Structure 1
């Protein structure tokens, strides 16, 4: 007998009913369980047998018995139950609220000023998600440390991570009014040689080369001999507020200190040439949990808006 395999997939519902009949032991019990007429169950089994050209059940007035073909069909369709069970689980997970931990990494001051203010709104939208925030100015390997999402500054090396540009970081020089009262003149970059300068430095990076563009467009680079160096950006800002020297920092990161007049700009005619992209990076979509994916989408949207608003509020073009 030739079997039309092109329409065999249409027998999947009948295969399911066949398996339920063998589990429950009768057409009537199966009909009750599936809320179908008994005649429909009998008809479906007959359709399956006709399609396969096999007798699957021996019917009698009191019981049903599997034929040898029926036993073999039951054995080879065991995976159908697992397939349906996994489908149900997938549906349940898709409709459930996203939950569980999401590990987010950022440099200290970037995370403090941009990331942390978004957490109340994030928690309000996804109360079952548990953000685990790591603020660290060291360069870390996201995959090795199990970080799900990170906020990064600078060009990114090629990797398996997905990156979304959310803003741009720029720089300008600032000092406290108290420091400037007693400091030497500071009118051109070369004057920094007579000043206390505070720099960011850790084991893999020293930000001790400061670049300037003069009012006539010439580029000047100075190597800074620091009076204090630190590997924590928040500490750098605090040191400057204490009157310990000049810092080079993104103006938008110190809006509160500027508003309180704890820090004021210096060398305002000498723009800084450097600008670095700010990226949100994450594992590839296939490797993300639903919770990670929801946080990723949320941060991509809201960080882009927050960074743009801060740049507008800053009002500078550095």
Structure 2
């Protein structure tokens, strides 16, 4: 059974951590608003309780022993956890206010986030929104971004993340194009069609088309007649009869509803990735971020709109 820590021992750990961080009892005492002798006596009692010598004391310096260094690292973890508890409690009471900086890819920002922001502000009128849309990778910490929306596989990082909707990508074409050129029945039939492809602005690489045929995936880069580097331009070209192209279902959905596009090879479509929100560890307790991430449950309700 784990022994419960006493208040006296917890006080000793706090005093020890401060003294170790500041390198002196006097500085630690000042930060804790107590006397240096109180800090010294508290740490001495902790050493007696633990049966360890934590500092090598001289008239000029305070040096951690090997045991003290190890305990200091663990004590800092404990204090950070305690600070998280305090921040979380404060965040519960806090009302979202100030400015929330959001970064998102252009199509998600224009088609999904922007129409939802007025409702979000009606709920939190003290909160201002700074929405930044582009297709490049944004460093949240360096650019002071509170929360970002990303599509695709996330690289390992210290960012906190929450996954929302799957990002289903499929083939589409206009009714006019299909009437003139015929409707492909299997992915191999695309060799006989004009293809419209997307090129990533960040890498300059074209989108590789992915289909699921039975238990296997087929992936290839088509010999495209038209290549563009903005997702919205892809669907505009398709709606104008430019050929067959791949796009996310939530981008194509409004065009399908208006009869401008038809899904092609729908039975072979796959979920390529997911729409995910990420935010820095420093924003963990932010009421602004918490409110926005909770609101995203309504913007991305379990799955992206399917065409």
TM-score of the two chains, using structure 1 as the length reference: 0.61
Q: Which residue of 2 aligns with 1:296?
A: 289
**Cα displacement string for residues 252-296 of structure 1 (whole angstroms, at most 9, x for unaligned residues):** 332211111111011133x23443122101111xx2397xx2332
Change (3 A) 1:226 1:125: same
Q: 1:132, 1:308 → 2: CA distance?
A: 23
Q: Give the alignment's Cα RMSD to 1 decimal.
A: 2.9
**Paired residues of 1:184 and 1:194 also in contact (CA < 8 A):** no
Look up the SS of the partner of 2:158 in the other structure: coil
Question: What does residue range 165-176 of structure 1 map to in structure 2 within 5 Å?
Answer: 165-176=163-174
Q: How far apart, CA to CA, are the structure 2 residues paired with 1:205 and 1:156?
A: 19
Whether 1:133 and 2:128 are equivalent positions in the alignment is: no
CA contact (8 A) 2:103 2:138 kept: no
Assess, with a 3 A threshold, how the Cα gap between structure 1 residues 203 and 227 changes in structure 2: closer, same or farther: farther
Q: 2:269 aligns with which of 267, 272, 275?
A: 272
2:103 matches 1:108: no
- Provide, for residues 191-228 of structure 1, a one-character-per-residue CA deviation record: whole Å limited to 9, x for no partner: 212222222212315343212222x4343222212222
CA–CA separation in structure 2 for the residues paired with 1:147 and 1:278: 18
- Secondary structure of 1:171's counterpart equals strand
Q: CA deviation at 1:105?
A: 0.9
More deviation, 252-261/199-208:
199-208
User: 1:164 touches 1:281 (CA, 8 Å); kept in 2?
Assistant: yes
- In the alignment of these two chains, the number of paired residues is 220
| Aligned with residue 190 of structure 1, among 167, 188, 191 | 188
| Contact preservation (8 Å) 1:167, 1:304 | no
Deviations 1:77-128 (A, max 9, x none): xxxxxxxxxxxxxx99997754322211111112223212321121112222
Q: Which runs of 4+ in 1 moved over 4 A?
A: 91-97
Q: Which residue in the other structure is 1:260 paired with?
A: 258
Distance 1:127 1:185, change over 3 A: closer
- The answer as to whether partners of 1:114 and 1:303 remain within 8 angstroms in 2 is no
Classify 1:163/1:289 alpha carbon distance in 2 versus 1 (closer, same or farther; 3 Å).
closer
* TM alignment of 1:1-318, pairs within 5 A: 97-201=95-199, 202-204=201-203, 206-214=205-213, 216-269=214-267, 271-284=268-281, 287-288=282-283, 293-308=286-301, 311=304, 314=306
Contact 1:166 1:300 in 2 (8 A): no
Q: C-alpha distance in 2, partners of 1:177/1:127?
A: 44
Question: 1:137 Cα deviation (Å)?
Answer: 1.8
Distance 2:91 2:270 in 1: 49
Q: How far, CA to CA, are the matches of 1:93 and 1:275 in structure 2?
A: 36
Alpha carbons of structure 1 residues 185 and 288: separation in structure 2 relative to 1, 3 Å: closer
Is the 1:167–1:307 contact (alpha carbons within 8 Å) kept by the matching residues of 2? yes
Distance across 1 between alignment mates of 2:275 and 2:109: 12
